[in-house]
Structure formats: structure tokens, C-alpha cells
Structure 1
Amino acid sequence: MKCSSIILHLFFLSLTHALVHFGLTRSQFNPLLPFTEHLDQAGEVSLRWGFDQPQDVITFELTVTTTGWVEMGFSPGGDMVGADIVIGGVLANGSTYFMDGHSTGNTVPLVDIQENYIPLALSEADGRTVMKFQRSIQPCDKDDAFISTSHIKVIYAYGGTDEIDYHYTQRGKKELNLLNYSPRTNHSNTSYFEIVANNFTVPAVHTHYYCWIMQLPTLNKKHHIYRIEPVIEHVDLVHHILLYRCSPRINSSFEGTCYSGNLLDLEQCMDVMASWGVGGGVSLPTPENAGIPIGGVLNKSYYRLEIHYNNPALTSGLRFHYTPDLRLHDAAILTTGLVNSARYVIPPNATAFQSYAACSTSLFN
């Protein structure tokens, strides 16, 4: 699909919001939409899409449980700043509206000078609004997001009416790989648990590491973790979260500032089980044929949660989705390099310093 402008009629939905108005017709392009993701936890916002790389076209269908306006976009940081956005909806008289825009901040998006998103269908039924549209995979102008085989932050918002207003909590984001998508297995027998630091107040310092050593919920037999999600009130205020499995020598729970006092030497808790850092996605699935083992003989194990804060009090941690339906393989994280510990010190005033490490690959296969 070549980049081209769409000439549409503008009308004012309200005194302050200009949107694109058009008469929908049956599109001759009817692509299959094989990929589906819920963008929110409650399943109120879902996205279907499909693409044809030789034709340079990608098609989306956004479904939201609302009878008001709906919005979807691509954002470099997961917020409104610099986002490439489309907004649409169905008015009470059955007419429709659609806008290809961009955002410079937490304000009403601006209409793109060149309209490169093509509306295919807009409908409203049974309390849900469906917006189907397509665009070129490659960006057509400076306001269009670049879609590649890497992950991209998909944002959404919606309102209860057709007046474009602040969305409050009716918004969210999800990181997806649109062109290299691996659908998740839908387990029928699943549960989840969270390891979080609730309402932790950070000292008045620029940066702070805090650790909790605890056990996971007791499971009578082996289970597999198949997906891990960060639980963060303010994602821009937490630098990273790590969960380590401890050696059998650790047999009690405690907490404190990492790498100091009782937590000065943490070499007994350095087996990385899960991690999240700035720029990370909102969901980390394991490979389809593998899961991280928990429960059974591992019930007595202790784990260390480490959170690097740059912020005041909030709730942060990780959510683990698990199932008793075991996959073919156990999953784990391979850590290479030297352990960063209090005994690893670069001499002061050194002009050069070399580190050496060895790794036996005799057991690899």
C-alpha cells in the first residue's frame, strides 16, 4: 500500500475537538486478522490485526466495551508524548467519525497534516465499539510511528460518550511485536500470585535498593510459571525489579537495604528467576514449550526480591501466572560474567583492571 493522503470532510464534534468525518462503504480489502491480544487485564479492550509485508499494509481491529469514543496509538515511551494516534466512534444518529493524529503531551491529539490511516469500518452494538483501519507498515510522514519486527508500545484510551474528554483510568498500554508475534497458549487451569512491596516508603535519597527474602506460596506438586508481569503503580519511577532464588543455606525471611547489614553478602541469592527493567514490556511469556518450575520439591526454597527505586511510596513487584499443566521443558535464566559483590573491587586510581571468569560447557546440550 503506497502512502497517500486521504481527503476527508472535517467537522466539529464539539467546540474544541475537530475530527474527520466520513461515510463508510464496504471495503474491497478484507484481510485476515489472525492475531489477537487483550490490551487490558479485564478483557474490555481487545486488538486483532494482520499484515501483508510484500504489499506493505497492516490492518487493525480495535474492540472496546464502550459506546463512546475509542483511541489507539503507538508511543515511544508508553504515554501520550510523541504518540501516533487514531480516534474514532459512532454517534447517536449512526454517523461515524475518525481521526489520524499525533500527540505532543497530555492534551487532545492534533490532526495529522497528511492522513495515512485508512478507516475500513466503525460499528457500535451490544455496548461495544469496533474500529477497523489500516495503514502502511512503513511510516509515511514524521508523525507516523515506525512498525518493525521489534516490540512497540501500543496505547489505548476510551470514553463513555462521544465527547473527547480526559480518559481518567480508561487508558492503558501493552508492548507487542506486531510483525513477529508469538501467540500465547491459553491454559484452562491457571492461577497467579504476586510478590510485591506494598506501600513501601523510600528514604529521601536519589536512588535506593531494597530487598525482601521470602518464600513463594506453597504448592503440593510441581507447577510451571508461563508468564510474568510487572506490578508497578508508576512505571516511570521504578528502575528495575529482580527476583532471585536462594540456596538451601537461606532458611528464613527478612528484609532490608540491599548490599548492607544482613544483606551485605547476597551470593547465596543470585540465581535469577525473573527480571524487569526500564523499557521492559508489560508481559514476559516463557517459550511455548517451557515453564519456570515452582512448587513440589522447591516449596522450601527462599527467594530474594530486589527493587531499585527512584520515587516515594508505592506498590511494586511481579505477578506470576502458573499452571499445573506442565510443559515439555523447565525454563531458567542463564547468567554469565562475574558476580557483583563486596569482594569485587577495582583498586583506586587504577589505570587498567582486568577480570577473568571461566564457564564449563561440558553439561550444555
Structure 2
Amino acid sequence: MIGKCGNLLLCIFARCCSVCFSATTLPFTEYLDSANLVSISWGFDNNGGPITFQVVANTAGWVGFGFSPSGSMTGSDVVIGGVNPDGTVYFADRHATGNTLPLVDTKQDYTLINLKESGSTTTMTFSRQLQTCDTDDLPITATPMILIYAYGSKDTISYHGASRGAKVINLLNYAGSVQSAVSYSYINLTATNAFEFPANVGISVGTSQDPLYFRLEMHYNNPLATSGMRNCFLATVEKQKYRNG
């Protein structure tokens, strides 16, 4: 009898939390893209309770959000949800094993609070524990994490094309996103026809005169698989010098 009573109380508590939820419980907000089409709001109570997220995307189709160890799909922990044309909703805790549709987790650790569509905007509110003890989920810690998102124009979950991105945010020790908090200088290097540098050309790293940090990004992008297009090469080097002491 005690067990049944405990389960009943948990059920009542969960329903109450869902009903009483309001945006005031989500004090932090960040746009995840430069065009301000996707935003995330979140909040937590610092007492080991769940963390709550609200993702708002400028689409009437499916919406995906999650965490990635590297910024790519492989190894990521995501949720995908949306509102069907008939008004029913879909939502699932998933994990990605590669650049394919993420698989549905055997153990569903994300709790849907609300999912609604208004015009061309979809709002998805959900929660999860910081540590789920599920190998298909990534733990949420007090260090910066790579947040990823993607969305589609329809409710059939398919390849997102260019409608995706990633941003580094410290959710539990939030003081602005990592990108906006650090000052970078940028050097754009563009090579035509996927050009190869000679063997004796390089960048010196390790001497007292060298910058202390470089990051090289290479992008080959044809998200719609348009025929007749040649690969474009873009390399971005980010340089940051840290103060001594």
C-alpha cells in the first residue's frame, strides 16, 4: 500500500509541475543562430532537481535540440518533437550513432511539459535530470557544453540541410555564451579548386613569438546536394592570445 501511495504522490506532483510551469522559471535565454531563428531558455533550482528547457524555432515542422561531445551528430544526445497537422504532438529522447536519423532511446529520460505551434513558430518545453545514468544521454555539468539544434519545414523527420547549428554555452554557470564572452580576431583563407599547399609551407607553433591558440575550420557545404556545383573551400583561423598571470 505504501508503494502505491508513493507512486500516486509522484504522479500528482508531476502533473502539478506541468500545470504550474511558467516562463518565469526560465531566467536564461540565448539565440542559437546568428539570424535569431532558434532560441533556448532554461532554468534549474541548484538543489539537484531537473533542468527545464524551452526551445523556440521559426518553423511549423519538426524541431531537434540536444548536446554533442564534438559539435557533430555522432555521439549526440537529442530530443526531436513537433506538432502534427491534426494537432497531435510527437516527442522522443534520441541518440545519434552517425550522420543519420538519431535512434529512439530505450530509456526515455526527457519529460515533455508542453509542445505547441503558433503560425510559423514551434515551442517545445521539456525537462530532464542533470545526471540520468543512461549511457545514451550526456551528463549536464558545470562546464561549457556544445548545444546543437536542427529543424525541418515539415513534420516528416528528414535531412535538415542548412537548418542546423551549434553553440557553446555553460548552462549551470551562465555568464553569457562562450563565443560572445571571448574576443577573437579572424583571418579568412580561401583557396580555389581545393588547392594543396607545398610541403615546405606551414605555420610556426611553439616559439615565444607565436600565438598561443589557433583553431582551423574547413567547410565543404552543399546541403541540398545540388548537382553541377563544385566544392567550395573555406578555412577560418581563429587566433586568441591569453594574458600571462
- TM-score bracket, normalised by the shorter chain, equals 0.7 to 0.9
Shift of 1:69: 0.1
Shift of 1:109: 1.2
What's the counterpart of residue 127 of structure 1?
A: 120
What's the counterpart of residue 164 of structure 2?
A: 171
Shift of 1:38: 1.1
Shift of 1:36: 1.1
Higher strand share: 1
What's the counterpart of residue 317 of structure 1?
A: 236
| Structure 1 Cα separation of the partners of residues 95 and 201 of structure 2 | 36
Q: Runs of 4 or more off by more than 4 Å in structure 1?
A: none
> Which amino acid in structure 2 is aligned with residue 197 of structure 1?
L
Q: Does 1:202 align with 2:224?
A: no
Higher helix share: 2
Q: Does 1:144 align with 2:137?
A: yes
- RMSD value, Cα: 3.4
Q: Secondary structure at the residue paired with 1:88?
A: strand
Q: 1:149 to 1:97 in 2, by over 3 A?
A: same
Q: Decide whether the 8 Å contact of 1:139 with 1:147 is kept in 2.
A: no
Shift of 1:91: 1.1
How many residues align? The count is 208
| Structure 2 Cα separation of the partners of residues 101 and 314 of structure 1 | 33
| Structure 1 Cα separation of the partners of residues 81 and 31 of structure 2 | 19
What's the counterpart of residue 61 of structure 1?
A: 54
List per-residue Cα deviations over 1:133-183 (Å, max 9, x = no partner).
Answer: 000011231111111111111111100100000111111111111111103
Q: 1:208 to 1:111 in 2, by over 3 A?
A: farther
| Structure 1 Cα separation of the partners of residues 83 and 118 of structure 2 | 10
Shift of 1:51: 1.2
| Structure 1 Cα separation of the partners of residues 150 and 236 of structure 2 | 25
List per-residue Cα deviations over 1:289-346 (Å, max 9, x = no partner).
Answer: xxxxxxxxxxxxxxxxxxxxxxx973223589xxxxxxxxxx97225xxxxxxxxxxx
What's the counterpart of residue 41 of structure 1?
A: 34
> Which amino acid in structure 1 is aligned with residue 151 of structure 2?
Y
Of the three residues 147, 155, 180, the one matched with 1:162 is: 155
Give identity over the alignment, percent.
39
Unaligned stretches of 5+ residues in structure 1: 1-24, 211-257, 260-265, 280-311, 321-330, 336-363
Q: 1:71 to 1:143 in 2, by over 3 A?
A: same
Q: Decide whether the 8 Å contact of 2:68 with 2:146 is kept in 1.
A: yes
What's the counterpart of residue 284 of structure 1?
A: none
Of the three residues 110, 114, 120, the one matched with 1:117 is: 110
Q: Does 1:333 align with 2:242?
A: yes
| Structure 2 Cα separation of the partners of residues 84 and 148 of structure 1 | 14
Q: Does 1:74 align with 2:67?
A: yes
- The normalised TM-score by structure 1 is 0.51
| Structure 1 Cα separation of the partners of residues 157 and 241 of structure 2 | 46
- The normalised TM-score by structure 2 is 0.73
Q: 1:72 to 1:334 in 2, by over 3 A?
A: same
What's the counterpart of residue 100 of structure 2?
A: 107
Unaligned stretches of 5+ residues in structure 2: 1-16, 218-230
Q: Decide whether the 8 Å contact of 1:202 with 1:313 is kept in 2.
A: no
Q: Secondary structure at the residue paired with 1:148?
A: coil
